[in-house]
Amino acid sequence: MSYRPPLEDVRFLLGDVLDFDGRVTGLPGQAESTLDAVLDVLAEAGTFCANELAPLNLPGDGAGATLGPDGVSTPAGFREAWRTLVAGGWPGLTCDPEYGGSGLPHTTQVVFEEFLCATNLSFATYLTLRHGAYHALRLHGSAEQRDRLLPLLASGRVAGTMCLTEAHAGTDLGLIRTRADPDEAGGYRVSGTKVFITAGDHDLTENIVHLVLARLPGAPSGTKGISLLIVPKIAADGKRNGVTCTSLEHKMGIRASATCVLTFEDAWGELVGEPHGGMRAMFTMMNAARLSVGIHGLGLADGAYQRAVRYARVRLQGRALGGAARPDLEADPIIVHPDVRRALLRVRSQVEAGRALALWTAIELDVAHRHDDPVVRAAADDLVALMTPILKAGLTELGWEATSTALGVFGGAGYIRETGIEQYVRDARIAPIYEGTNGIQALDLVGRKLPEGAGRLLRRFFHPADAWLERQRGNPTLAEFVDPTTRAIDTLRATTLWLGERGASDREEAGAAATDYLRLFFLTASCYMWARMAAAALDPQATCTPAFREAKLASGRFYIARVLPEAGALAREITAGKASVMGFPEAAF
Amino acid sequence: MSYRPPLEDVRFLLGDVLDFDGRVTGLPGQAESTLDAVLDVLAEAGTFCANELAPLNLPGDGAGATLGPDGVSTPAGFREAWRTLVAGGWPGLTCDPEYGGSGLPHTTQVVFEEFLCATNLSFATYLTLRHGAYHALRLHGSAEQRDRLLPLLASGRVAGTMCLTEAHAGTDLGLIRTRADPDEAGGYRVSGTKVFITAGDHDLTENIVHLVLARLPGAPSGTKGISLLIVPKIAADGKRNGVTCTSLEHKMGIRASATCVLTFEDAWGELVGEPHGGMRAMFTMMNAARLSVGIHGLGLADGAYQRAVRYARVRLQGRALGGAARPDLEADPIIVHPDVRRALLRVRSQVEAGRALALWTAIELDVAHRHDDPVVRAAADDLVALMTPILKAGLTELGWEATSTALGVFGGAGYIRETGIEQYVRDARIAPIYEGTNGIQALDLVGRKLPEGAGRLLRRFFHPADAWLERQRGNPTLAEFVDPTTRAIDTLRATTLWLGERGASDREEAGAAATDYLRLFFLTASCYMWARMAAAALDPQATCTPAFREAKLASGRFYIARVLPEAGALAREITAGKASVMGFPEAAF
C-alpha cells in the first residue's frame, strides 16, 4: 500500500532543472517561497496522502458514493480525512492570504495534486473542484462576492462545483437550456437539469457553491447567450435551496466521487460578472482545471507504476534469460525479465518527462500570474496557453497507458479487484474525457493555439528550446540526448509548418491531424525535457545523488531509444493528410 | 443493442480473398462444407448471438456469477440461453460426427466465436472452455475416454475446464504442487488448489470435466514431471466428487464468467495419456485456446465499434468543420467530425485486417488437421504455429485499444455503466493476460517460433507473401497497396534478420525486443491482408457489391496512411537493442 511521494524527483526538477528559486521565489508575494520551504510543505503533503488517503482508496471504490434522502454520502473515512485536510490548512495551500490561504505558488498545488491523485483520485475531485470555484470567483466575482465566499472556499468549509453539461450539451455548450430569471430582489431563479456534475453533492462540507451556466431571458442563442451564476446548496437564510441531486451515475471508476444529476427548480442564484459573459468566466476555470486533470493522469500513472514495481520485485516466476538471478529461490522475481523492465521503463520514462513538463508549465503559470513585468507575464501566459491542451491530453493518455501496463505486470492478479490495480485503470479512463475530451484539446491546439498571433504561442516553445539546444551543441557527453532532441524538434517544426499551411485553408485537414499532432507535440516536448534533465543531472553543480543521476540518465536513454521513435510515425500519419479520413463513405461505417 | 454479424465481410474474406472453397471444401470429411453452406449456418449463429446473447450481456455483468452453498449460479437467463444453444446443436458445430457433432470446419467455429464474443464474452467462456476440453481429450484421451466423454462434451450436456494455474504458478507451470496419488482401482486421488479457473463451476450443465495438471508421486521436478488428469465434478456413481469451488474472484470484467478457486481434496481422477506427459497435452489445448482468445479481442473490438458507430450517428454536438451538415437539426451528428472518423477508422481498419488474419489462419488450421497430404499438412501447421502467438497478442491488444476508443466516442456517457460500452473495456482487459500473457506470446514467437527449423516457420509467411506481391507488381491500380506492403515486409524481414543474429547469442536481446517485434509482425501481416483484400475487391470476378468494394478500399487506404507508419517506429525501437532496457539499475526502479 505504501506510496512514496516522488520528492527527490520534484527537488531535482524544481532545483536542478527548472530554476524554481530564480523564476518563482521573489515574485511579488513569494519572497518566502524558497525551494526548501516549498519542499518541506510538500513532504508533509506527501505524508498526508500516503497515510490518510491511500488507505481509503480501495474501500472507497467498493462502497462508492451513495444517494439517500438527505443527499449524497461519501464512503467511510472520507469525512474524517476531509476534517484532517481542513485542520492542516491544505485546501488553502495556494489561496490568497487575504482570504485565509497560505499563498504558496501554484507550482506547489500541482505537486500536491499529483500526490492526491496517486493515492485517491475520488477524494481529490472534491478538493480540486472547490479549487476551480475559488479561482473563477477570484477572477470574475464582485468584491462583495469575493469577500463573502473566498474565505469559505479557501478554508475547505465550503466546496464548489462546475455545472456546465446538460444531457444534450456536453462538448457543445451553446446548446444549454438551463434558465435564470431575475427575481424582484436582484437575484435570479434558476431552473434546469445538469448532468455529470463531479462532486455535485456530498457530506464533506457545510455548504456547496454551484457555479452554473444558464441563459437569462432574451439571451442570444449559442455560447454568446450564456451567463454564470452562483447557486448555493444552502441559501443565505440557512434553508435548502432549490437544487437537488436527483440521481448518482454508476460509473466505470472514480466511484467514490459523486457524479450527480443536479435538478435546479427555482433555485436562488446570483450573477457572476456580466450578463451573457459566462463562457469567458468558465474558460478561465476550465484552463486551470485542464492542467489539473492532466495531473490526474500523471498521479495515477506514478501510483500505478510504484505498485507494479513492488509486485515485480516479489513475484517469483521463471528464471532470468541469462541464468538464475536468485538461485536461492524457487524462481526469480519477474523484474529480471527484459519484457517486464521494458514495460516499467516505458511508464517511468514518460512519467518523469511528464512531471517535468507539468512543473515547467506550473512555474510559468506562477510567472504569468505574479510577475510585475507585463511583457514577462504575457510570454509566460502564452506558453501556459500552448501547453495546457498538450498536458491535459498527453498526461491523461499516459495515465491510461500506464495504469493498464501496470495491471499487466500483475498478470492474472491484476484483474482481481482486491489487488487494487484495476481500480487505477478504471479511474484513469475518465481523465481523457472530462474537462473537454482529448479530441477537443487537440482541436483547441490546432484550431486556436497554433494560429494565435501568427504562431506567437508556438514561438514561446520553439525559440527557447532552439536556443538551449544550440548552447549544448559542443558538449559531447550530452550529444546522445541533444542530437535526437534536435531532430525531434525539427520534425515537429516541419509538421507544424505543413499543418499551418494546410489547416489554415481547410479546417478538416486540421481536424484530421489534431489528435496525432498533439501527441507528437507531447512526445517532442517530453524529449526536450529529457535533454534538459540529462544536462542537469550531468551538471557538477547538481544537488542530486550519484544513484539518482545514474537512474535519471538511464531512464532518459530508454525514452530516446524506445519511446521517441513513435514521433516519426506520427509525423508521417499527420502528413498523409485528411484524404483517407474523410474519403470513407459515411453510410458505410 | 442490435448487433449486426459481419456476414458480408466473412463472405468476402472466405469467398473472394482466401479461397475457402478451394482450400477447405473437399478436404476429407468436408465434401459438403461449401462456402454457401457454411455461411447459412453462420447466419443462423449470428442471429442466435444477436437475439439471445446480446440482451443478457449487460444484466449479466451487473449480476455477476455468484457462489452459494450448492456451487456457482450464472446470471438470470444464462441457463435458458444455454438450453437454446444445446437444442440448436451449436456446441457440436465443429465436433466430429462420430461423437454427435456437426463436423464443420474449424473456420466456422472461429467465426462463430467472434459473434459470441462480440455479444457476450462471459457466456462464451463457458462454451469455449468446453471446446478446449473436447479437443484435448480427442487428441490425448484413450479410445474408451473418447467414447465415454466426447459425446457429452460435443452435445453441451457436459462442460470442461483447464486447471493449470496455482497461486504461485501462473506463467511458470513448473512450480505446480497439486498431487495425484494412485488409488487401488487404477484411478488417482487429486489434492491441491487451483486458482483463476475460468468457468470452474456453474449451473449450465449436468457435469463438468476438469482437466487438471498435477504431479504423480516421484515425478521429476519442473515441467517434465507434470501429468494431465480428468477430474469430474460429479463422479461416476452420481455423487459429488472432491472438487469444490471455494471462492469466486471479484474481477474487473467478464463478471458473469465464474473465475474460481477450485479446491481438490482426494478427488477421484483418471490419467490422460502418459504419466508426466501433461505439458504436451496441455500445450495442444493451449494453442487452440490461444487462437480462440485472440478472437475474444476481435469480437469485442467489432462489437464495441458497432456501438460507437451507432452512437456517432445519433449524438448531435457541434457543427461539421466545413459548415453544417444537417442544418435542419440543432447540431450535426458527431460522425461528421474528422477526429471521430479517425478514431472509428483506426478500429475498423484493424478489425478488418485482424479478421482476415484470423480466417486465413483458421483455414490453414483446417488444412493442417484434415489434408491427406502430410507435406501440405505440415506446411499449414507451420503457419498456424507461427501465427498463433501473433494473433493471440495482436488481436487482444486490438480488443483493448478498440473498446477504449469506442468508449471515447461516447464521451461522458461512455463512462456510465448503463451505456454498456465500459463493460466492453473491462471485459477486454483479461484477454491479453489469460492463456499466456501477451509477453509470453512474444517470447514464444522470438524464442521458439523464429528459430524453429532454422526459420522454417517464417518462410511459410514470407515466401507466399513475396510471391503474391511479385505477381501484383505490374498492376498500377494496386500499387497504392502493394508498394507499401512490399516495403513493410522488407522492414519486417530486415528486423527479423537483426533479431535472429542478436537474439540467437543473447536471449536478453530477444526478450527486450519480443513485444515490439510481435506487434511489428502483426501490423505487417495485417498490411499484407489489406493488399490481398484490395486485390480481391478490385477483381472483376469478386462477388461483393460496389458499395462494399468502395468501403473496403477506403478502409484499406486509411490503414496504409494512418496505422502502418507505426511499423517503422517499432523497427527502430527493436533495433535500438537491449542496452536501454537492461542498463537501468534494478535497485532504482
Alpha helices in B6-34 (DSSP H): 7-11, 20-23
Residues A165, A66: one domain? no
Distance from C-alpha of B364 to C-alpha of B361, rounded to nearest angstrom: 5
C-alpha cell at A221: 442563442
Statement: residue A149 has pLDDT above 80: yes
Task: Collect all residues of chain B within an 8 Å Cβ-Cβ radius of residue A171.
Answer: 317-318, 411
In a domain, B356, yes or no: no
**3-state SS, residue B262:** strand
In a domain, B469, yes or no: yes
**3-state SS, residue B240:** strand
A166 to chain B, any CB pair closer than 8 A? The answer is no
In a domain, B421, yes or no: no
Any idea what the CATH number is for the domain that residue B22 is in?
Answer: 1.10.540.10
Contacts of A193 (CB under 8 A, 6+ apart): A166, A167, A178, A246, A261, A262, A263, A264
Report in angstroms the alpha-carbon separations of A8 from A113, A352, A522: 17, 12, 24
A443 to chain B, any CB pair closer than 8 A? The answer is yes
In a domain, A314, yes or no: no
**Residue A327 burial (10 A CB sphere; 0-12, 13-18, 19+):** exposed
Residues A200, A221: one domain? yes
Pairing of strands A259-272, A188-198: antiparallel
Residues B257, B121: one domain? no
The count of domains in chain A is 3
Last residue of a domain, one of A260, A276, A292: A276
**CB-side exposure of A481: number of CA atoms within 13 Å?**
28
Q: Report CB contact under 8 Å: B438, A316.
A: no
Statement: residue A1 has pLDDT above 70: no
Task: Collect all residues of chain A within an 8 Å Cβ-Cβ radius of residue B438.
Answer: 408
Active-site positions of B read 435
Amino acid identity of residue B506, one-letter, is D
Residues A224, A144: one domain? no
A330 is catalytic: no
Any idea what the CATH number is for the domain that residue A205 is in?
Answer: 2.40.110.20
Contacts of A23 (CB under 8 A, 6+ apart): A363, A366, A367
Q: Which residues pair with A231 in a beta bridge?
A: A210
In a domain, A35, yes or no: yes
Q: Report CB contact under 8 Å: B508, A322.
A: yes
Residues B244, B228: one domain? yes
Boundaries of domain holding B128:
7-155
A62 to chain B, any CB pair closer than 8 A? The answer is no
Distance from C-alpha of B310 to C-alpha of A170, rounded to nearest angstrom: 18
Instruction: Report which secondary-structure segment, H or E, holds A193.
Output: strand A188-198
A554 to chain B, any CB pair closer than 8 A? The answer is yes
Instruction: Report which secondary-structure segment, H or E, holds B290.
Output: helix B278-314
Contact A132, A289 (CB under 8 A): yes
Q: Report CB contact under 8 Å: A589, B411.
A: no
Residues A162, A142: one domain? no
For chain B, 589 residues long, give each residue's pLDDT as a single digit of tens. 589 999 999 999 999 999 999 999 999 999 999 999 999 999 999 999 999 999 999 999 999 999 999 999 999 999 999 999 999 999 999 999 999 999 999 999 999 999 999 999 999 999 999 998 999 999 999 999 999 999 999 999 999 999 999 998 887 888 999 999 999 999 999 999 999 999 999 999 999 999 999 999 999 999 999 999 999 999 989 999 999 999 999 999 999 999 999 999 999 999 999 999 998 887 777 777 899 999 999 999 999 999 999 999 999 998 998 889 999 998 999 999 999 999 999 999 999 999 999 999 999 999 999 999 999 999 999 999 999 999 999 999 999 999 999 999 999 999 999 999 999 999 999 999 999 999 999 999 999 999 999 999 999 999 999 999 999 998 999 999 999 999 999 999 999 999 999 988 899 999 999 999 999 999 999 999 999 999 999 999 999 999 999 999 999 999 999 999 999 999 999 999 999 999 999 999 9
In a domain, B118, yes or no: yes
Distance from C-alpha of A124 to C-alpha of A296, rounded to nearest angstrom: 9
Distance from C-alpha of B390 to C-alpha of B36, rounded to nearest angstrom: 30
Nearest residue to A392 via CA among A438, A429, A447: A438
**Residue A354 burial (10 A CB sphere; 0-12, 13-18, 19+):** buried
C-alpha cell at B407: 468508449
Nearest residue to A531 via CA among A483, A462, A563: A483
B573 to chain A, any CB pair closer than 8 A? The answer is yes
C-alpha cell at A48: 498526508
B546 to chain A, any CB pair closer than 8 A? The answer is no
Distance from C-alpha of A11 to C-alpha of A21, rounded to nearest angstrom: 11
Average pLDDT over residues A211-227: 95
Amino acid identity of residue A558, one-letter, is F
The distance of A342 to chain B (nearest Cα, Å) reads: 6
Handedness of CA A428, A429, A432, A436 (dihedral sign): negative
Contact A306, B586 (CB under 8 A): no
Contact B259, B251 (CB under 8 A): yes
Residues B139, B267: one domain? no
Residues B565, B550: one domain? yes
Last residue of a domain, one of B276, B310, B342: B276
pLDDT of amino acid B1: 52
Average pLDDT over residues A331-348: 96
**Of these residues, A114, A397, A435, A509, which one is catalytic?**
A435
Residues B143, B198: one domain? no
Contact A114, A99 (CB under 8 A): no
C-alpha cell at A297: 493522469
Nearest to A580 among B515, B561, B589 (CB): B561
Distance from C-alpha of B251 to C-alpha of B259, rounded to nearest angstrom: 8
pLDDT of amino acid A288: 75
B550 to chain A, any CB pair closer than 8 A? The answer is yes
Residues A490, A572: one domain? yes
Last residue of a domain, one of A112, A131, A155: A155
pLDDT tens by residue, A550-568? 999 999 999 999 999 999 9
ipTM, 2 decimals? 0.96
The distance of A266 to chain B (nearest Cα, Å) reads: 26
Q: Count of CB contacts below 8 A, A vs B?
A: 282
Amino acid identity of residue B574, one-letter, is I
> What pLDDT band is residue A383 in, cutting at 50, 70 and 90?
very high
Task: State phi, psi for B325 to the nearest 5 degrees.
Answer: -85, -30
Angle between helix axes B421-428 and B374-409 (nearest 10 degrees) is 140
Residues B221, B95: one domain? no
pLDDT tens by residue, A399-439? 999 999 999 999 999 999 999 999 999 999 999 999 999 99
Euclidean distance between the first and the last CA atom of chain B, given in angstroms as a whole number: 46
In a domain, B433, yes or no: no
Contact A522, A294 (CB under 8 A): no
Please, which residues 339-368 of chain B have a Cβ atom closer than 8 Å to chain A? Answer: 339-345, 348
Distance from C-alpha of B284 to C-alpha of B140, rounded to nearest angstrom: 9
Nearest to A557 among B318, B415, B583 (CB): B583
pLDDT of amino acid A2: 85
In a domain, B444, yes or no: no
The distance of B166 to chain A (nearest Cα, Å) reads: 11
DSSP state string for B164-186: --BTTBSS-GGG---EEEE-TTS
Residues A486, A569: one domain? yes
pLDDT of amino acid A283: 77
Contact A301, A402 (CB under 8 A): yes
Contacts of A149 (CB under 8 A, 6+ apart): A137, A141, A158, A209, A230
- What's the length of chain B? 589
Alpha helices in A329-448 (DSSP H): 338-370, 374-409, 421-428, 438-444
